[in-house]
């Protein structure tokens, strides 16, 4: 049974829509958004607008990942990069808060230097990308079922998706446990270091210079600073400006 | 739906696009219609708590049309922008907030398989997108060129980014119990009577639920965590300079997010679309039998989920009109000194409970499908057709060996 609309078969009414390859359409859409806003980041002069363009560019990249069926990577992109830009934005606003809407002008020499470095990086990446034989072959159309479980299993050390070749049935290849742990320890060290550097300093014997400048902060402010300078990233957002974020108390 | 459209003779991708548009419009109406209903409810709830009557005349005895009247007023208001404002960002900010709230709904299941796009990592996706809402708030606060707005935006940024940490830890617990980040799977694993809900899974999940509630209230900026719009100190915080329709976008985003975190609490901890009493199963309906039964069951599930989520929103209103606002240092103390450690300990506890007592305290009272993992839904049989992951692996391995 062919459904009709105004006497014509439905497929005859909407051939232009049906003819479009929607996958390519969305790929081009997201790719052009990502590239366009990446250029806008470079050309913009206001730090908050730059951050906005960066977020849009990164979000479009996340859209590309989602389009490719890599939902976990796409969500990760949103969580880490876009969320990270958020913190960047907060710092940007705080550092330029003395004079609002400061415009940052780039000198000509910087532009040339940045262009050279960027082109070199792009060239290196393209060469590296094109040198992988598997990436040059046309897509086989065979998609792995997207699932987060194999990824999680691989992170805790078991590759359930790719058993080792020539291995007995039960044996599985080791996963990414070691790199995962190395990164975890690295992050932990960074967090501890940040907390140590930003902690509220208390001295038992005040030095002369401290006594000279000793306007003892009220207990609540010191406590607030201690909390604000905690290791949780967002806490350090506060650390730069307790007066700003504290507001009228 | 895609199958239906394909049967009409449309090409696959066009059918997908039309289905996507229909889903998007439906979700949009959930947010917009929900905001209308919840704003009315907020007026009535706050009035009752303060021993008033609230709206009584607009549109009948209970003031049903108060939200519509509000909407017309907002449409008719003059759209002002401060002279020193950054025009582009000022105009864009409300839509950024609204879009973030809207996008998160795409992955939220409203009943069994009634979901805009069933994502394998739905929980993670929703949490990630929900965190973007604050971006619009920061843009608004910065672009308004007003110190009150900037104060509000900074507070909001600090608060939301901090509360993402304990919120993530709370969300991980049901994910761990279900063995999946797919919200449809998580909801379906709590099918049956209410003691199958993850809220009652073990003492640790019970505590985690309340930590989640705290963090959810904080992450959507509701009182007592509404420092970003503390009207006694900051005029109206980040939306001081907004009026008219743009302002209402912020409000729609806020009520959308409230509904979203409540629905997420329902799916993760309160059984999702499975009612406290499995009425459909007792009557003999199931998702797989007959022509109309699946739709009836899903309609029932829809009512269940929306009811639970609305109850969550009402509870948020109750909290808002009961508790005083916290100071910023108290907000940070609550997050870093209480919520995060409690969530971490409860996460470890729930994990140990799973290892030591995998069957629960009463092993006889069976939970649905102990070994269900992703890809376990096969055919129309729904949860009857359980496919353990090991079998799927065997099949995959067999096919891999078969193909040279």
Q: For the beta carbon of residue B40, count every other beta carbon within 10 angstroms.
A: 22
Q: Are A96 and A20 within one domain?
A: yes
What 3-state class would DSSP assign to B103? Answer: helix
Q: Identify which has the larger pLDDT, A52 or B290.
A: A52
Residue A131 lies in a domain: yes
Residue of B nearest to A23 (CA): B13
Residue of B9, B96, B146 to mutate for A, most A C-beta atoms under 10 A: B9
Smallest CA–CA distance, residue A248 to chain B, in Å, is 7
pTM above 0.80, yes or no: no
A52 domain residue, yes or no? yes
Provide the shortest C-alpha distance from residue B277 to chain A (in Å).
31
Q: Which of A59-63, A141-145, B35-39 has the lowest mean pLDDT?
A: A141-145
Is B233 within 8 Å of A71 when comparing Cβ atoms?
no
Domain extent listing, chain B:
1-76, 82-358, 373-404
Q: How buried is A39 (Cβ within 10 angstroms: 0-12 exposed, 13-18 middle, 19+ buried)?
A: exposed
Q: Once rounded to an integer, what is the mean pLDDT over residues A17-35? A: 78
> Which residue is closest to A142 within chain B, CA to CA?
B400
CA distance B197 to chain A (A): 22
Distance from CA of B200 to the nearest CA of A (A): 25
pLDDT at residue B2 in the model:
63
**What is each CA distance from B160 to A62, B103, B171, B257, in whole angstroms?**
21, 18, 16, 13
Question: Both tokens of residue B304?
Answer: 């269940």
What pLDDT score was predicted for residue A36? 92
CB B328 within 8 A of CB B230: no
Residue contact A249–B327, C-beta within 8 A? yes
C-alpha–C-alpha distance, residues A85 and A38, integer Å:
14
Q: Nearest Cα to B147, choosing from A48, A237, A100?
A: A100
Please tell me whether residues A72 and A121 are part of one structural domain: no
CB contact under 8 A, A52 and B89: yes
Determine, yes or no, domain membership for A5: no
Flag whether pLDDT at A124 surpasses 90: yes
Domain assignment present for A238: no
Spatial contact of A92 and A49, defined as CB atoms under 8 Å apart? no
- For each of chain B's 404 residues, which pLDDT tens digit applies? 666 666 666 666 677 777 778 888 888 888 888 888 888 888 888 888 888 887 888 777 777 888 888 888 888 888 777 777 777 888 888 888 888 888 888 888 887 777 777 777 888 888 888 878 888 888 888 888 777 888 888 888 888 878 888 888 899 898 888 877 888 888 888 877 777 788 888 888 889 999 999 988 888 888 788 777 776 777 777 777 787 788 888 888 888 888 999 999 998 888 878 877 777 777 766 666 566 677 777 788 888 888 898 898 999 888 888 888 888 888 888 888 898 899 999 999 988 888 887 766 665 555 554 444 444 333 333 333 333 444 444 444 444 444 43
**Which residue of B lies nearest to A243 if distances are taken between CA atoms?**
B151
Among the listed residues B301, B164, B88, B178, the one whose alpha carbon sits nearest the alpha carbon of residue A235: B164
Nearest-Cα residue of chain A relative to residue B228: A245
Q: Which whole-number Å values give the CA distances from B255 to A29, B31, B38, B105, B251, in the listed order?
A: 31, 8, 7, 12, 6
Paired with A4 in beta bridges are A9
Domains: count for chain A: 2
Name the DSSP letter for residue B274.
S
Helix/strand/coil (H/E/C) assignment for every residue in chain A: CCCEECCEEHHHHCHHHHHCCHHHHHHHHHHHHHHHHHHHHHHCCEHHHHHHHHHHHHHHHHHHHHHCCCHHHHHHHHHHHHHHHHHHHHHHHHHCCCCCCCECCCCHHHHHHHHHHHHHHHHHHHHHHHCCHHHHCCCCCCCCCCCHHHHHHHHCCEECCCCCCCCCCCCCEECCHHHHHHHHHHHHHHHHHHHHHHCCCCCCCCCHHHHHCCCCCCHHHHHHHHHHCCCCCHHHHHHCCHHHHHCCC
Give me chain A's average pLDDT, please. Answer: 69
The bridge status of strand A8-9 relative to strand A4-5 is antiparallel
Q: Which of A163, A234, A241 sits opposite B161 (nearest CB)?
A: A234
pLDDT (0 to 100) of residue A164: 53
- Whether A180 maps to a domain, the answer reads no
**Contacts with A72 from chain B: Cβ below 8 Å:** 120-121, 124
Q: What are the tens digits of pLDDT across the range A64-100?
A: 888 887 788 888 888 888 777 777 777 666 666 555 5
Q: Are residues A87 and A130 in the same domain?
A: no
Interface residue of B2, B141, B154, B396 to substitute, partner A, most A CBs within 10 Å:
B154
| A124-150 average pLDDT score | 72
Closest Cα in chain A, distance from residue B29 (Å): 23
> Does residue A163 form part of some domain?
no
Q: What is the pLDDT of residue B5?
A: 66
Q: Check residue B73 and report its DSSP letter.
A: H
Residue A220: list chain B partners with CB under 8 A.
329
Q: What are the structure tokens assigned to A5, written together?
A: 């609309």
Q: Are residues A88 and A112 in the same domain?
A: no
The CA distance from A245 to B18, in Å, is 46
Q: Residue A100: which domain range?
A: 15-105
Q: Is residue A166 part of a domain?
A: no
Tokens read off for A84: 């990270």
Task: Say whether B132 and A82 touch across the interface (CB within 8 A).
Answer: yes
On whether residue A184 sits in a domain, the answer given is no
Q: What is the CATH number of the domain that holds A95?
A: 1.20.120.1200
Calculate how close chain B gets to A5, using CA atoms only, in Å: 11
Most confident of A124-133, A142-151, B142-151: A124-133
Nearest by CB to A14, from B14, B154, B157: name it: B14
Which chain A residue's Cα is nearest to B232? A248
Yes or no, beta carbons of B328 and A246 under 8 Å apart = yes
Among residues B373, B317, B324, B328, the alpha carbon closest in space to that of B38 is found at B317
């Amino acid at each position: 049974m062919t459904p009709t609309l105004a006497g014509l078969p439905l497929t005859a009414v909407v051939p232009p829509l049906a003819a479009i390859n929607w996958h390519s359409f969305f790929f081009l859409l997201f790719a052009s958004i990502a590239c366009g806003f990446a250029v806008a980041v470079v050309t913009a002069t206001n730090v908050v607008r730059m951050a906005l363009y960066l977020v849009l560019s990164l979000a479009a990249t996340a859209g590309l990942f989602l389009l490719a069926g890599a939902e976990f990577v796409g969500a990760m992109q949103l969580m880490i990069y876009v969320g990270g830009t958020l913190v960047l934005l907060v710092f940007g606003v705080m550092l330029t808060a003395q004079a609002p809407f400061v415009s940052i002008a780039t000198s000509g020499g910087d532009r040339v230097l940045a262009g050279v470095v960027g082109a070199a990086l792009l060239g290196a990446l393209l060469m590296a990308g094109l040198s992988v034989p598997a990436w040059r072959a046309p897509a086989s159309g065979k998609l792995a079922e997207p699932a987060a479980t194999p990824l999680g299993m691989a992170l805790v050390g078991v590759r359930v998706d790719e058993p080792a070749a020539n291995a007995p049935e039960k044996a599985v290849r080791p996963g990414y446990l070691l790199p995962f742990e190395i990164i975890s320890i690295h992050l932990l060290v960074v967090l501890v270091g940040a907390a140590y550097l930003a902690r509220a300093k208390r001295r038992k014997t005040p030095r002369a210079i401290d006594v000279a400048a000793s306007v003892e902060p009220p207990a609540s402010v010191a406590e607030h600073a201690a909390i604000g300078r905690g290791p949780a990233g967002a806490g350090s957002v506060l650390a730069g400006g307790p007066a700003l974020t504290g507001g009228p108390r | 739906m895609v199958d239906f459209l394909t049967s009409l003779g449309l090409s696959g991708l066009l059918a997908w696009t039309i289905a996507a548009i229909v889903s998007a419009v439906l979700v949009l109406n959930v947010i917009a219609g929900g905001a209308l209903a919840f704003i009315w409810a907020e007026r009535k709830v706050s009035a009752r708590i303060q021993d008033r009557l609230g709206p009584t005349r607009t549109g009948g005895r209970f003031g049903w049309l108060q939200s519509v009247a509000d909407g017309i007023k907002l449409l008719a208001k003059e759209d002002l922008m401060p002279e020193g404002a950054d025009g582009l960002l000022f105009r864009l900010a409300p839509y950024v907030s609204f879009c973030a709230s809207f996008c998160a709904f795409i992955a939220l299941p409203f009943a069994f398989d009634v979901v805009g796009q069933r994502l394998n990592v739905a929980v993670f996706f929703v949490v990630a997108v929900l965190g973007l809402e604050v971006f619009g708030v920061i843009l608004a606060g910065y672009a308004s060129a007003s110190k009150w707005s900037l104060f509000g935006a900074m507070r909001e940024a600090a608060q939301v980014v901090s509360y993402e940490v304990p919120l993530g830890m709370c969300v991980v617990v049901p994910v761990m119990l279900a063995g999946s980040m797919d919200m449809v799977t998580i909801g379906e694993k709590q099918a049956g009577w209410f003691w199958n809900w993850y809220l009652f899974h073990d003492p640790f999940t019970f505590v985690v639920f309340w930590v989640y509630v705290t963090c959810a209230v904080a992450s959507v900026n509701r009182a007592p965590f509404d420092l970003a719009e503390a009207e006694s100190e900051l005029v109206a915080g980040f939306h001081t300079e907004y009026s008219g329709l743009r302002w209402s976008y912020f409000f729609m985003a806020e009520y959308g997010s409230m509904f979203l975190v409540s629905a997420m609490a329902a799916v993760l901890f309160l059984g999702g679309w499975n009612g406290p009493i499995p009425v459909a199963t007792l009557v003999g309906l199931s998702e797989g039998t007959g022509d109309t039964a699946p739709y009836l069951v899903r309609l029932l599930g829809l009512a269940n989920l929306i009811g639970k989520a609305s109850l969550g929103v009402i509870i948020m209103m109750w909290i808002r009109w009961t508790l005083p606002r916290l100071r910023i240092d108290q907000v940070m103390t609550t997050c870093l000194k209480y919520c995060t450690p409690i969530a971490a300990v409860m996460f470890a506890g729930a994990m140990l409970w799973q290892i030591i007592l995998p069957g629960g305290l009463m092993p006889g009272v069976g939970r649905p499908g102990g070994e269900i993992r992703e890809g376990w839904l096969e055919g129309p049989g729904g949860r009857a057709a359980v496919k353990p992951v090991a079998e799927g692996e065997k099949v995959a391995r067999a096919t891999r060996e078969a193909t040279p």
